[in-house]
Structure 1
Amino acid sequence: MNERQKSSRAGWLPKWLAPRGLSRPLIGIVSDSASCLPQSYRDRAGLIEVTVPIIVDNHLQGDDPQALMMGLAMGKSVKTSRPAPGEFARAYRALLDAGCHQVLSIHFSGALSGTADAARLAAASFGSAVCVVDSQTVALPLGFALADVLDARDAGAPLVVLKTIAEQSTLNTVYFAVPSLEQLRRGGRISALSSVLGNLLNVKPILTIDQGSITALEKPRSFARAQARLVCLALRDAREVGSNARLGVMHFGAEELATEIATELAPFSCQPVVIESLPAVLAAHTGMGVLAVAVAALDPQPDSEAAGHRTP
């Protein structure tokens, strides 16, 4: 992490952003179910989350974790599909009809899904009223950025500031480990050769998001070691961020292990460590037992020159 990135995590919310107490936001926010937006933000006014559906054994299931768990347990085919552009168009129209002057649509990495492209197709019919951002990340790194966008929006920030905050989600880091690489291979996120080698050698790689794509960072030889490395990597990044570091843990079917990790990370987080179950659209590719950690600064400095740069 370079000095520009460190300074961009120094905290911002300038004094001119005094809360206005608006009952009806002037800027609507649209996201998708891959964002892992913390639960406490999901009831904010002027926010719509579009579901990225999963397909279990050729049956569309929406964002249903129970259907996914059953499908994975039974060895059924599990896939994902981008939302139809019409889903986004309906969300944009609903917000504009409700009195929003503009809409900011923020979505997970276009290198992993066509969701952002579907949003752009829908936005084309709304002209300058709708702005779409490909966050180039996913899960809590995106969720933390969305939380910042909502806080800034409700404090009166203009669209240009909100867009910059959304784009700086790439400064947030995420590391995850899976017990098996098979689901990632089936979804085309890693090569067949990597999956075979990983399973044969009992390698449980630490994966991260780099420039929007999944990248292998380290290759521990057991899942227990991978879990320990997740903690070490999160603590390293938290120390670099400093006193305003906030941390989160994600899992799918591994709540006990996620809670253990959160307990270890708690002294280094400026807020209670967020624990989130991974959305079905993401867990469909990682499979059962996935663990992940995320690190972000609270209220990152909206420096447009720093946006889009990231060091794993």
Structure 2
Amino acid sequence: MTKKIAWVTDTAALLNEDFIKEHNIHVLPLSVVFEDGVLRETVDMTQDEFYDKLRKTKAHPKTSQPAIGEMVSLYEKLKEDGYTCAIAVHTSSQLSGTYQSSIAAGEMANFKVYSIDSKIGSYPMMKMIEYGQKLIKEGQDVEYVVKKIQDVTDQTALSFIPSSLSQLHKSGRVTGTQAFLSNLLNIKLVISFDNGKVEMKEKVRTFCKAKKYVTDQFREEMQKNPMEEVAIIHCNNEKEATGWKADLQEEFPNLNTLVLPLSAAVGVHAGEGTTGLSWVTF
């Protein structure tokens, strides 16, 4: 019997509407908890509304994973609609409980869910879904596809450069002294995902040097594993991202270079103006 497979993710991937419709993705929203209430990403607020509210708020907001009740309701609905199972690609379990909740919600709904810890966020999650759907169309069985996607989780990269450390200080990621000295001396950090965790990789003077560090990492990877696509990711900083795209296209004219916004959940911690690069090697 042919299996009817549902695809599920969360807004850490921040897929655009065209991709969601084309690939029939069910998206669970992450939430931002402001002092005057909780707003679900892409449901209760747009990106512009989020950053406008972030600039004006006095108390620093927090982030929250999708409610488990919402997950259970989705899986029950999928079962009612005749789906055999779901493949759910979620943001890193080191940063959010979404992956664990997905497993629990599947059990509560008595519905088979293949939950995958992407060990990352953003663009690579989109590529995992694309890759998995391609394998399904080729006739591969679900268990094989899940295993192949899990393999891809170790072949991804995402590095970003916070615009300043003020937002990281507000979210408790750095001390006030570190933030003050960084802003005073124009110190820029390069922060990367490493096996699901977010770690500081480099500390340099000026944004240009930080961008060069990340670009050098990408260039080295291209020499080992040539890629057809890369994503420039940003927190409401399309101008800087577009400039970075132009630089990459000059060096790699045959490279498909995307410019993609980061989730509001990232914006809460990294801050408006953050930019970076992300890629996947297959």
TM bracket (short chain): 0.7 to 0.9
Bigger mean CA deviation after superposition, 133-142 or 31-40: 31-40
Structure 2: how far apart are the matches of 1:238 and 1:269? 13
Alignment correspondent of 2:53: 71
Opposite residue 186 of structure 2, the aligned amino acid is N
Distance 1:224 1:58, change over 3 A: farther
Q: Deviations over 1:265-312 (max 9, x none)?
A: 235386621211112122111111000101113xx3xxxxxxxxxxxx
What's the C-alpha RMSD, in Å, of the aligned pairs? 2.4
Structure 2: how far apart are the matches of 1:60 and 1:145? 29
The answer to whether 1:33 aligns with 2:17 is no
Alignment correspondent of 2:257: 273
Residues 282-301 of structure 1: pairs in structure 2 closer than 5 A: 282-297=266-281, 300=282
Gaps of 5+ in 2: none
Opposite residue 275 of structure 1, the aligned amino acid is V
Opposite residue 31 of structure 1, the aligned amino acid is T
Partner residue of 1:141 out of 124, 129, 143: 124
Alignment correspondent of 2:34: 56
Partner residue of 1:150 out of 95, 118, 133: 133
Gaps of 5+ in 1: 1-23, 301-312
8 Å Cα contact 2:9-2:90 kept in structure 1? yes
Offset of 1:229 from its aligned partner?
2.6
8 Å Cα contact 1:53-1:81 kept in structure 2? yes
Return the TM-score normalized by structure 1.
Answer: 0.79
8 Å Cα contact 2:79-2:111 kept in structure 1? no
Alignment correspondent of 2:221: 237
Partner residue of 2:147 out of 160, 164, 168: 164
Opposite residue 272 of structure 1, the aligned amino acid is N
Residues 1-312 of structure 1: pairs in structure 2 closer than 5 A: 26-37=4-15, 40-63=18-41, 64=45, 65-76=47-58, 77-127=60-110, 129-167=112-150, 168-190=152-174, 194-242=178-226, 244-266=227-249, 268=252, 272-297=256-281, 300=282
Structure 1: how far apart are the matches of 2:201 and 2:161? 10
**% identical aligned pairs:** 22
Return the TM-score normalized by structure 2.
Answer: 0.87
Higher RCO (C-alpha 8 Å, min separation 6): 1
Structure 2: how far apart are the matches of 1:25 and 1:246? 31
Offset of 1:38 from its aligned partner?
5.8
Structure 2: how far apart are the matches of 1:189 and 1:165? 34
Distance 1:32 1:159, change over 3 A: same
Question: Which has a greater percent of strand?
Answer: 2
8 Å Cα contact 1:137-1:170 kept in structure 2? no
Give secondary structure in 2 for the equivalent of 1:170: coil
Distance 1:87 1:245, change over 3 A: same
Structure 2: how far apart are the matches of 1:272 and 1:39? 20
Offset of 1:159 from its aligned partner?
1.4
